[in-house]
Amino acid sequence: MKPECLQDGRWSSVIGYISARLDLEATAREFGALRRKRKIRSAEELLHLALMYGPGQQSLRSTAGLAVDAGLPDLSDKGVMGRLQHMGDWLAHVLAVLLTEKFGKGAGPAEALDLAAVDGSLICSPGKGGNWRLHARFDPAAGRFTDLVLSDSRQAERSDRTRISPGETIIQDRGYARVRNFAAVLGAGGDFITRLGWRSLRLLDAKGQAIDLLGRLPQTAATAEWGVYIHGIARPLRLVIHRLPPEQAERQRKRVKRKSGKAGHQMDPRTATAAGYLMLLTSLPSQRVAPERIIQLYRERWQVELGFKRLKTIGGLDQLPATDPALARTWLLAHLIAAVLTDELACRLVGFPPSAT
């Protein structure tokens, strides 16, 4: 968001859009952002200040100067900082409301799957500042984020960090291959498609015997499928395995080899074998979705990674200047609010038109 957008007549459009969706004054008081009306007289002025500092890419001193140019009260650097440090909870609420209002699910064809790609991305603070993690839900059909939750880096990636809607099919990478994540999705009335590593989970057959996953790897290009069980989930699941083309398999092997080298250990030969396959676990019933379609649906997940990349490289989310945790949180949340508000940036987040699902 360019600073001039926060100074001229366009600011009234921005504030009008937000005010139509929530009571800024009431929520600013509820979440402790607006305590006393000394100099800063309203929640609108507080939000203006946050957007100047965050997406406006201003220092504390330049934010103070820019605020005066925009008709806000004259504040010192410390005055600006003190107000920004108390905005985190309020801005998180504003972001959640804007996402719910703007990107609520619409009615689609009855036979279509309601897909959501769930992932997380690390944001590093400068120096000795604590790192942050952005948890996201992305709608591949619409090409946009539908939920964004900011936490510190100690909060691990989990399926339920963002909203899960009944009837939704959650697409997840192998980092989410945990029983607790499967249970969270199923408990919310959704389904999942999750990538597996060859030792991510202990898979069982109908008799409760452990399955040799590597022994099930297909030797042809045909997609293979088996019914499996895991401890902690009562219902049967489906294991879908697809052999990658030779060129793609070789790239994957080189990638895992580099990762093993950086970690300082030798790659397990079984890891090299498994790198040539895409292995997915899903709760979707076979009567509804064929195994080949499961493979296609999982490949929609690339859009959330592209969304993160655009948000960081174009939106500047990875250029966090603040080390103070409260100030850093305000800076990041203000950026995310700007990303939701700015149609131009929202278009850049996708980059390519989403494929039909």
Q: Which two tokens stand for residue 251?
A: 């790239």
Does pTM top 0.95 for this prediction? Answer: no
Q: What pLDDT score was predicted for residue 266?
A: 80
pLDDT of residue 110 exceeding 70: no
pLDDT of residue 76 exceeding 50: yes
Q: What pLDDT score was predicted for residue 239?
A: 97
Q: What sections of the chain are H helices per DSSP?
A: 10-19, 24-30, 43-53, 60-69, 77-84, 88-102, 179-187, 246-263, 269-274, 291-298, 302-313, 325-341, 343-350
Q: What pLDDT score was predicted for residue 259?
A: 83
Residue indicated by tokens 């003190």: 82
Confidence of residue 357 (pLDDT cuts 50, 70, 90): very low
pLDDT of residue 166 exceeding 60: yes
Please say whether the beta carbons of 90 and 28 come within 8 A: yes
Mean pLDDT of the chain: 87
Q: Residue 14 — φ and ψ, nearest 5°?
A: -60, -50
pLDDT of residue 341 exceeding 80: yes
115 class by beta-carbon count within 10 Å (0-12 exposed, 13-18 middle, 19+ buried): buried
Q: What sections of 179-233 are H helices per DSSP?
A: 179-187
Q: Which two tokens stand for residue 308?
A: 């993160």
Percent of the chain at pLDDT exceeding 90: 62
Residue type at 323 in one-letter notation: T
Q: What pLDDT score was predicted for residue 150?
A: 96
CA angle 318, 298, 255 (to 5 degrees): 60
Confidence of residue 71 (pLDDT cuts 50, 70, 90): confident
Q: Which two tokens stand for residue 131?
A: 């790192």
